A and B are shown apart, each in its own frame.
Chain A
Amino acid sequence: MSFLQDYVYYIGAFGLVLIGLFIILSRRNLIKVIIGLSILDTGINLFLISVGYISKGTAPIFSKPGLVAEDMVDPVPQALVLTSIVIGVAVLALALALAMRLHKLHGTLDLRKIGELKW
């Protein structure tokens, strides 16, 4: 039980990563693939957060008396996640814009029917 308690965030994060990966590899609809990418991103962000997380930790600001550094979570991964979320949003927006254009040009979002370019 304590294993689960210690590693639950990692299990959750890698679960999301695997779900995202599975969706990207198995779905044929471009929108679903993009959703998979988004889930994958979320999983990685959760992983980054859990790298620096302490159970019942607080923000790293000396706001109350008696607060010591050992009770604070690591702020660096949170800064990384902030950046990574912004990048993820940009990629997602771009992917959806391209999907719209692809649908306009090909009349379908099915990746099997689109493949005109081959080796």
Chain B
Amino acid sequence: MVSPVLLIVIPLGLAFCVPLIGMVSKRFARFVPVVACLFNLVVSVQLLPAVLSKPIVVDLGGFGAPFSINLFVGPVGILFSLLIALAGFVVSLYALAYIDKGPTTRYHTLYLLLLVGATGVVLTGDVFNLFVFFEILCISSYVLVAYRGDKDGVESAVKYLIQGALGSALLLTGIGLLYGLFGTLNMAHIAVQAGSADPIPLFVAMALIVVGLGVEAAIFPLNAWLPDAHSSAPSSISAILSGIAIEVGLYAVVRMVFTVFGASSMLSFLMFLGVLTLLVGELCAFAQSNIKRMLAYSSIGQIGLIIFAIAIATSGSITGGFFQLVSHTLSKALLFLAAGYMIYRSGSMDISSLEGMGKRMPLTAFAFAVGAFSLVGLPPFAGFPSKLLIIRGALADGGALLALLVGLVLLGTVIEGAYFFRVIQTVFFKKGDGETARCEAPAIALVSMFVLVALIIVIGVYPSLIIGVLNSAASELLVRADYIGRVLG
């Protein structure tokens, strides 16, 4: 069996090969991310059956668990690493055609580093290691946001960098406090001792860590950087930032709250925060006239929904939350990719400039519509079973408060439907006054979009395909003792 370490090592090595290969041939260098992501995808799929029967724990350096840095490849880790590899693969295919100007080899290096950071965060079992991978993820995304080097890009990269650096500083302080309290950095080892620790310093550490990670996860009110960064970045990067980066931040928050601290009293707070994030995101998205800003705000809303679902902390709702995460990654990546070429052809990010795009680029517009319908939650797309599962999971628990929150969530979905249908109407049913000639996106970009379209429809029609993985992921989060036992033996 292949070792899960390769999921991190191979892309990391290849990332630094990109400039070397780029010296020989720039055309060849852009295929490196495709190869690396394909490798990760294959390895993740190969590991999947083994991981589902029994999580794999790799002790690096040959020492036993609390002393070494270890990787914990459980159902949650493999789910995320699969998702990262899949989205990374599709977006790197798209970037073959889309990224044609500027320092392209640097783009591909940083893109791979971003994916390495994300994979590392979801697989590691050590808090400081998590911080390091998190910084790899963050620093490469700061640079990629400013890739075009224009006014908006640089300005939003600076904003992102300052807020991200502050978040990382809080995270590091929290990790320092944890080390001072427990004398260990291993997540499982901290989790064992967390129950008997002095509650006040433990709470301070948790607050610092959750706030620090919450900046990257774009939890309200820490999300001020997101709309700027996601709308000014190149569309392929927006797709990865929306589809992967904030989800990884969310993973880190969830892992800390559930596994490391086992803080069940924190969950109701997170639940309210999730609904608040959802409503703020959707309302702001409704008010936007810039399509990429609209999509960015919609990501905030979706993150809120996922937090809400996971914070309910029943096995059904967590499964729904993870399902929503998968469908959000696929749909939002698709939306950004499709919008990327529509913006490229129309020359403006204004929604009104997309009039008549349904005639000019029918396939891209179709892909956009699929993404939008899936995000809103229409059958037979992936968003439908996920929202159904979340609402069923939330209502099964009973309680008037939860029912009220579900009502607010549904209100958010209605707003979401309103602004997405407005865009769909503009794209398909309004005649543009300008060009009418066909100008479809390049073939390779269409292939990448239609891979996502196919996945969204397949998952939407046969949700049982992934529900097994999601169920075991939910039970990994809920059963802390299992995690601790696997690592410490």
Residues of chain A at the chain B interface (Cβ within 8 Å) = 17, 21, 24, 30, 33, 37, 40-41, 44, 47-48, 51-52, 74, 76-77, 80, 83-84, 87, 90-91, 94-95, 98-99, 101-102, 105-106, 114-117, 119
Contacts and interface: CB of A to CB of B under 8 A. Distances in A.
Contact of A76 (B159, B161, B179): B179
Contact of A87 (B132, B151, B156): B132
Given A44-B169, A91-B161, A98-B142, 13 more contacts: A17-B169, A77-B176, A84-B172, A87-B135, A90-B135, A91-B168, A95-B161, A95-B165, A102-B154, A115-B155, A117-B159, A117-B232, A119-B227
Interface in B196-251: 227-228, 232
Given A44-B172, A80-B128, A24 B179 contact: no
Contacts of A52: 179
Nearest to B161: A95
Contacts of B149: 101
B139 A94 contact: yes
B166 interface: yes
B151 A98 contact: no
Contacts of B157: 98
Contacts of A91: 135, 139, 161, 165, 168
Nearest to A114: B155
A115 B162 CA distance: 14
Nearest to B135: A87
A90 B161 CA distance: 11
A114 B151 CA distance: 10
A40 B179 CA distance: 19
Given A48-B172, A94-B161, A105 B154 contact: yes
Interface residues of B, number: 35
Contacts of A48: 172, 176, 179
B485 interface: no
Interface of B: 128, 132, 135, 139, 142-143, 146, 149-152, 154-159, 161-162, 165-166, 168-169, 172-173, 175-176, 179-180, 183, 185, 227-228, 232, 284
Contacts of B179: 48, 51-52, 76-77, 80
6 contacts: A41-B169, A47-B173, A48-B179, A91-B168, A98-B157, A116-B151
Contacts of A95: 158, 161-162, 165
A33 B151 contact: no
Nearest to A10: B180
- Name the prevailing secondary structure of the A interface residues: helix
Contacts of B173: 17, 44, 47
A117 B142 contact: no
B135 A33 contact: no
A33 B159 CA distance: 11
B152 A116 contact: yes
B172 A30 contact: no
A66 B156 CA distance: 57
Nearest to A45: B172
Nearest to A51: B180
A30 B166 contact: no
A14 to B, nearest CB: 9
Contacts of A119: 227, 284
Contacts of A84: 172
Contact of B156 (A40, A44, A105, A117): A117
Given A37-B162, A101-B149, A117-B232, A47 B176 contact: yes
